Amino acid sequence: MDWLNAIVQGTLLGGLYALFAAGLSLIFGVMRLVNIAHGDLIVLAAYLGLTVTTATGIHPLLAIVVVVPVMAAIGYVLQRGLLNQTLGDDLLPPLLVTFGLSVIIQNALLEGYTADPQKLAAGNLETASFAFGGLTLGVLPVLTFSFAIAVIWGLQWIFYCTALGRAFRAVSDNQDIAQLMGLNRRHIFGLAMALALAVTAIAGILLGIRTSFDPSGGGGRLIFGFEAVIIGGLGNLWGTLAGGVILGVAQTVGAKIDPGWQILSGHIAFLLILAVRPNGLFPRISA
């Protein structure tokens, strides 16, 4: 039962990792951009949630309604104002620029909110749990996992059932020809980043309710997000969810063996899968 418990808890934790990863997966899929600042943007979203909840007194979950559009707007402006200029045949400029962005965000957060760890106060939700089939499940992890499924499902729907998704896929396939069809790739990329950061907003707030965060916490989230994307296979959103779950389960099972092994066993699982399946488990696009 202990092992089953570890696996179930790990699966639920995987939902959070999938939320970290979904935005990364999306922007890599659409514009082959690897965003080093992604983790810091998650932390930024958590801080925005903090500001909204302390200023208005509303519940952090409700703050999502405010933080999602704000992050989406930041995403669009960031893409059109800065990141579009770095895109081209060379992969290095976007890496360097988003690395710089990561440093800037961390320092700005440090300046604005100090280095003290913060948490989003969510009252009962933080500790509430229920019994299910002999296991005790936290309401928050279950909620987070539901959010992850809803987000991935929603992204999948946008990608495959809407004109915007068609534009995403067309631009991803061939930027020049998409441009010939009247699609301005700079605008499409802006919309993709807006969507990615909207997801980041949800991830940041759920993170902030779950654990405390500080300005330097972005790197760890970036790594988990990356690992989930790579395990699942590039360009496959459901694969990203599977990647998050595998990572989460590896961590909780590792922690079960020895509490010190939690993070390490996640990385080991990642490396093992990479060694066996270099393109991830369910790749859609070749790297």
Partner 1 sequence: MPDPILKISGLNAHYGDFQALFGVDMQVDAGEVLAIIGANGAGKTTLMRSITGLLTNGPDQIMHKGTDIGRLRADEVALRGIAMVPEGRQLFPSLSVKENLMIGAQVLRPGPWNLKAVYQLFPILEERKDQQSTSLSGGQQQMVAIGRALMSNPELILFDEISLGLAPVIIRDIYRALPGIIGNGMSAIIVEQDISKALSVSSRVYCLQEGRVSLEDRSDTVAREDISRAYFGIE
Instruction: For the segment 205-234, give every residue that binds partner 1 (CB under 8 A).
Output: none
- Residue from 62, 103, 177, 257 touching partner 1 (CB under 8 A): that is 177
Stretch that binds partner 1, among 77-85, 100-108, 130-138, 169-177 (CB under 8 A): 169-177
Query: How far apart, in Å, are the Cα atoms of 68 and each of 13, 23, 199, 202, 255?
Result: 22, 13, 7, 7, 33
Which of 4, 81, 114, 173 is close enough to bind partner 1 by CB under 8 A?
A: 173
Q: Per-residue contact track with partner 1, 80 to 119, x per CB under 8 A?
A: ----------------------------------------
Q: Applying CB under 8 A, does 251 fall inside the site for partner 1?
A: no
181 binds partner 1 (CB under 8 A): yes
Least distance between partner 1 and beta carbon 271 (Å): 30
> For the purposes of burial, counting CB atoms within 10 Å of the CB of 51, is it exposed (0-12), middle (13-18) or buried (19 or more)?
middle
The alpha carbon of 51 is separated from its chain's Cα centroid by a whole number of angstroms, namely: 21
Rounded CA-CA distance 287/281 in Å is 13
Residue 25's SS3 state is helix
The answer to the question of residue 172 lying near partner 1 (CB under 8 A) is yes
**What is the tally of helices (H) and strands (E) in the chain?**
11, 2
- Find the shortest distance in angstroms from Cβ 182 to partner 1: 4
Nearest distance, CB of residue 178 and partner 1, angstroms: 8
- Following DSSP, what letter does each residue of 154-173 receive, concatenated? HHHHHHHHSHHHHHHHHHHH
In the complex, the smallest distance separating the C-beta of residue 173 from partner 1, rounded to whole angstroms, is 4
Q: Is 246 in contact with 231 (CB distance < 8 Å)?
A: yes
Rule CB under 8 A: is residue 59 a binding residue for partner 1?
no
Rule CB under 8 A: which residues touch partner 1?
A: 163, 166-167, 169-170, 172-174, 176-184
